[in-house]
Amino acid sequence: MDVIDTKSIYQDVLQMQLDEWRLEIRRMRARAKYAEEGVKYFYFEQLDALVKKRERVESKLSKLRNVRKRSNWKKLRFDFEKSWDDLAKSMKVVELKMH
């Protein structure tokens, strides 16, 4: 397997996780509709922030897919992974708050 195949597989796996997070955010949004009025607004604020983070990560993944130079790919990958980690942590925090 060459480097291009490895990158492609790496990016496909990441896209699948982003798609899964998109579905999880939708599920949490559906649950938030039935929350008590006092926390409903808070939940929707948190979910809106997750959507923005997920969209930002998806945009960075798209840039990563289209980069040609190896040095640029490494730089973009570092930036992407930082955003990815932030989104992953935020997903866990919001899920815990909603249970």
**pLDDT tens digit string along 52-95?**
999 999 999 999 888 888 788 888 989 999 999 999 999 999 99
Picking from 73, 99, 92, the residue whose alpha carbon sits closest to that of residue 10 is 73
pLDDT average, residue stretch 35-55: 95
Whole-number percent of the chain with pLDDT over 70: 95
Q: Has residue 3 got a pLDDT over 80? A: no
pTM as predicted: 0.88
What is the domain count for the chain? 1
Cα separation, 22 vs 25, whole angstroms: 5
Could you tell me the residue range of the domain that residue 9 belongs to?
A: 3-98
Quick check: helix, strand or coil at residue 35? coil
Q: Has residue 49 got a pLDDT over 80? A: yes
Picking from 22, 25, 95, 90, the residue whose alpha carbon sits closest to that of residue 61 is 22
Picking from 51, 34, 49, the residue whose alpha carbon sits closest to that of residue 98 is 34
Whole-number percent of the chain with pLDDT over 90: 71
Tell me what pLDDT residue 7 has: 77
Cα separation, 95 vs 24, whole angstroms: 9
Could you tell me the pLDDT band of residue 4, with boundaries at 50, 70 and 90? low
Tell me what pLDDT residue 36 has: 92
